[in-house]
Amino acid sequence: MIQRYDLNYFDEYKASYCFVLSSIIIAMKKEKNGSIKTALVVGASGVIGQNLIQYLSSLPDWKVIGLARKRLSGSSATYLSVDLLDKEDTYEKFKGLPEVTHVFYTAYQDRPTWAALVEPNLTMLKNVVETIEKVSPHFQHISFMQGFKVYGAHLGPFKTPAKESDRPIMTPEFMTEQQRYIEQQQQGKSWSWSAIRPSVVGGAALGNPMNLALVLAVYAALCKELNLPFRFPGKPGAYDKLMELTDADLLAKATVWAATDSQTSNQAFNITNGDLFRWSELWPKLARYFGLEWAPGVPLPLKDVMEDQEKVWETMREKYNLNADYKSVSSWAFGDFVLSWDYDFLSDSSKARRLGFHEYVNTEEMFYRIFDQFQRDRIIPSFK
């Protein structure tokens, strides 16, 4: 179920009910398992953080605490609202968390340039690590989320398949700076780290700036409403290049594996579905799933073009009783970004597989599963 934000009075009541419920579940887990680990999931409302919380709380030996600035609620975890850019606030909220054993860091602050991303994203990570070191005597491991930006994939054609052992690119690049900081900070300490490098992530979240599945689903819903064919809106050169994606559920499993396996300490891992595709093969299949006619692509700057469709969406909301406003389904800039990659976009994920992580996801089926979920949650109209 997709996470909801912005609590009103009734939600306050539900939030305290969820808090009591999650405390009971944790007490039951404890009784059953003796000792349990405590996860602090930083970035709990993100595409990646939400799935991580769901997965960890399905496991018998984890207590889960989720953290974001927004006030969140749900029965899978207890939630904290913290602004990680504020060191004082971070300390005030963290000082009640001596039981944290594992930090799963998936927070992200967006900025308009690659260079501007470094400062806030490094500050948030530093505030988490340095505060947890102070307040939690049981702290064992930090897992932090990276991506193919460490390989320069966002800048243009890069060496493929990218390997964890590839030499770093010239910074400023926030993920590389974060890793450098963690490596230095860990020197002489008893805790360890793992860095996780997914491709673009597929997950059923709402209101996130980087959500490819939502871009495709909402674009398709608008095409259907306007009686238009499903045209590839990206750069023509991106249509036939090799791509790979990472399912958010698979990513959650891999992240927990790397944070707890005895052979994975202080290393990075590429994590991907395990198959490759080209939009040219997948696009007509997606059109079929949505019951849309396929037609040759036209490069459409989604961020500009889709701004105009808000009125259509509002009409659709009424007509189909949809749950989401236009802002929360609009990751158009991210859609433009991903669909502009007119070069192969893939890594070698055999290192994780060699060390014991063997999960695989079929990317086409991943999309259908997420689109089905969007329809069940009435984020988009039913296509059946």
Ligand X SMILES: NC(=O)c1ccc[n+]([C@@H]2O[C@H](COP(=O)([O-])OP(=O)(O)OC[C@H]3O[C@@H](n4cnc5c(N)ncnc54)[C@H](OP(=O)(O)O)[C@@H]3O)[C@@H](O)[C@H]2O)c1
Residues in contact with ligand X by the rule CB under 6 A: 43-49, 68-70, 82-85, 106-109, 124, 145, 147, 198, 200-201, 208-210
Name the token pair of 129.
Answer: 């690590």
CA dist 315 and 311 (Å) reads 6
Main-chain dihedrals φ then ψ at residue 92, nearest 5 degrees = -55, -45
Minimum distance of ligand X from residue 175's CB (angstroms): 7
Minimum distance of ligand X from residue 169's CB (angstroms): 15
Smaller CB separation from ligand X, 5 or 383: 5
| Least distance in angstroms from the C-beta of 206 to ligand X | 10
3-state helix, strand and coil shares in percent for the chain, rounded to the nearest 5? 45, 15, 40
Whichever of 3 and 309 has its CB closer to ligand X, that residue is 3
SS3 292: coil
Q: Which is nearer to ligand X, 71 or 285 (CB)?
A: 71
Question: Which residue(s) pair with 51 in the sheet?
Answer: none
> Which residue has tokens 């927070």?
107
C-beta of 254 vs 316, nearer to ligand X: 254
Task: Give the CB-nearest residue to ligand X.
Answer: 46
Strands 192-198 and 245-247: unpaired
Q: Which is nearer to ligand X, 46 or 152 (CB)?
A: 46
Q: How far is the CB of 294 from ligand X (least distance, A)?
A: 25
- How far apart are CB 230 and ligand X at their closest, in Å? 22
Task: Check: CB of residue 195 under 8 Å from CB of residue 144.
Answer: yes
By beta-carbon proximity to ligand X, the closer residue of 26 and 196 is: 196
Q: Any idea what DSSP says for residue 346?
A: -
Q: Measured from the CB of residue 209, what is the shortest distance to ligand X in angstroms?
A: 5
40 contacts 102 by C-beta, under 8 angstroms: yes
Q: Yes or no: say if 235 and 245 are a contact pair by the CB < 8 Å rule.
A: no
Alpha carbon distance 322, 336 (integer Å): 25
CB of 19 to ligand X, least distance (A): 18
Q: Cα-flanking dihedrals φ and ψ of residue 370, to 5°?
A: -70, -40
* CA atoms of 42 and 50, how far apart (whole Å): 10
- What value, to the nearest 5°, has the Cα angle with vertex 83 and ends 77 and 84? 90
Nearer to ligand X, 312 or 373 (CB): 373
